[in-house]
Structures are given as C-alpha cells and as structure tokens.
Amino acid sequence: MSSLTEQVIWDQFAYLRASLKQPVEVLRAKTVVFVGCGTSYYLAQAIAAATNDAGQNAIAVPAAEWTDRPGSYLADLEGAVVVGLSRSGTTTETIEALRVSRELGLSTIALSCEPDSTILQVAERGIHLPTDKREGIVMTVSASLMLLAGLRMAGVPVTEANIADAERVLSAISKVADKAVAGRRHFVTLGAGALYGIANEASLKLQEMSLSISQAFHPLEYRHGPISLVDGVSMIVLLYSSLTQAREEKVAQDVSAKGAFVVGIGGRGDVKIDVSTQGPARALAVLPALQLLGEKVACAKNLDTETPRHLTKVVVLN
C-alpha cells in the first residue's frame, strides 16, 4: 500500500496538464529576480537558469537574502522585476522580500498554490496555481506546478509531450528505485544549468523525507574535493544535460569506479533512465521522479513522509 505522499506524486500530472491552460506572461525586464525559500528557492534557481537560456537576464536569490542585502546580488536594481514563489503564499521571508521590492520601486509578481494568499495580495500581479489539497508538508505537486509556470514565464515552451515524458521517467524510476536505494547511506545529486536547481531540490527532498545527509553539486565540480566522500554506500543521481552529456558520463565512470551506485537520468549509470525532453524543460521532466526517489529512501528507512521531523508546512516568523 503506497503512502499518501506517493499517491500525490503519481497523481500530479492532471494538475500539470490543467495548468497549461492558464495564461502566463513571458517575462521581459532588465533583470528578473526570482525569490523563494527552501524548495521554492531551488525552483527559482532552475527557472532563473532557464530564463537566461531564453535570452532574458535573471538571477535567483533566497528570499531573506533579497530582503536584507539586494545589492549583494544585483548592483543596479533599476528596472528589475521580482518574482516571488511560495506554495503557501504565507512564508514570512518571501512576503518581506516582495514588500521590500515594492518599497524599492520594483515591479513584483507572485506565484502561489493557495488562492488569495498573502503573497498574491502583496505583489502587483499574481498567479494562483490550483494544487492537490492532499499534498502534505513536503512539497511535491506544488513544486512541479510552480516550476512549470516559471518555465513558461521564462518563455520555455512546455508541452503535453514534456508532461508525458515526466510520467514515463517517474514510472521508469519506480521500477529501479528499490535496487538503487538498497544499502545506500550517502546521497549526491548532480545537475548543470537549469538542472542544478533541480539537483538541489532533489537533495532537499532526500533530507526532508528520509533524514538522509545529501549534497548537490554541478557535475564537473564533483571531482574538486567532494568526490573524497564516495564509497560503497554512495548513491549518485546524475541529471544529464544533452549539451554536456559526454563530460558528465566521464564523471559517472569516475564515481562508479570508486564504489558509487549511479542513477543516470538521461544518460549512463548503474541504472539508466531515458529522458526525451531536451533543454530547460528537462527540469520538469525529471522532477516527479526525484520526488519519488525521496519517498522510496524514506520507505526503506521506515519513515512516514506525512510527518517529516522538525518541519512545518509553512515557516512563519514572528
């Protein structure tokens, strides 16, 4: 019997397809600043990279950092548009980041999965993305929804084919997850470009859902020190990019030779999951599978992801 968390992961595609019908504006400004917390910040990283790929200057900043020191991330604030991502729409730091942005005279947009949430009221413009009410503390379907909307705002054409690809990748990883997870206690996720934010999100899922020590890096960075941790209990998830696949496959060979079990998503590994989506939309094609991987590691450790340790659905600071 699968958990409610797993059922929500499997059932997310109807929500993704429905969201394709929602109008979104393609962002055009001197610079687009995506802000968020936790999962929403990592989605911001992926969306910002996709936005740059589409020819529009963009950065991703943790919400509290943008509130406290915007100048450390963008020297010239003039003409910037700030996009706040928040499933709940009530995360204190993200609300503050938008409020500060308005005080600075910047345009603001909010993405949220809660109707009429605070963030949608604070921002000048907002997009509500209806989500599965069964979703628990750990973000799954809402993360995919905000990523999809953000990619479309970047000007990335997300299609039914990409959503169907995400379903296939999810199904494929469900068939090999138990083999990949067995006996593994050290987890690493690697991704480049827009996939680096997804690697961070996958790592956060492993931390939140399965209480695993997990790290995320750019693939070619891994040899520069962190590789020292690889041994026979390492599982390394490599999110391949078509552009750099050959060099990434050499990283897979290096870590495999040191004892790691490599989950190759879009390329070579001890298990290889095919991905047909190319370009920045690949971030969406692989995200649901990575959500399930977190759930599978949690199951292997007999952990209930409906009650993740120390976490609440929203972080509200007083």
> Minimum CB separation from ligand F1P for residue 86, in Å?
3
User: Quick check: 38 binds ligand F1P (CB under 6 A)?
Assistant: yes
Identify the residue among 8, 9, 33, 37 touching ligand F1P (CB under 6 A). 37
Identify the residue among 45, 51, 67, 94 touching ligand F1P (CB under 6 A). 94
Interaction mask 64-93, ligand F1P, x per CB under 6 A? ----------------------xxx--x--
Per rule CB under 6 A, count of chain residues that contact ligand F1P: 17
Interaction mask 295-314, ligand F1P, x per CB under 6 A? ----------------x-xx
> Minimum CB separation from ligand F1P for residue 306, in Å?
13
Positions in 124-163 near ligand F1P (CB under 6 A)? 137-139
> Minimum CB separation from ligand F1P for residue 261, in Å?
26
Half-sphere exposure of 80 (CA within 13 A, CB side): 27
Residue nearest to ligand F1P (CB): 38
Q: Which is nearer to ligand F1P, 111 or 230 (CB)?
A: 111
Compute the distance between CA of residue 108 and CA of residue 289 in angstroms, rounded to an integer: 32
Positions in 185-204 near ligand F1P (CB under 6 A)? none
Q: Which is nearer to ligand F1P, 31 or 88 (CB)?
A: 88
> Minimum CB separation from ligand F1P for residue 163, in Å?
21
User: Quick check: 40 binds ligand F1P (CB under 6 A)?
Assistant: yes
Q: Which is nearer to ligand F1P, 91 or 215 (CB)?
A: 91
Binding stretches for ligand F1P (CB under 6 A): 37-40, 86-88, 91, 94, 137-139, 208, 311, 313-315
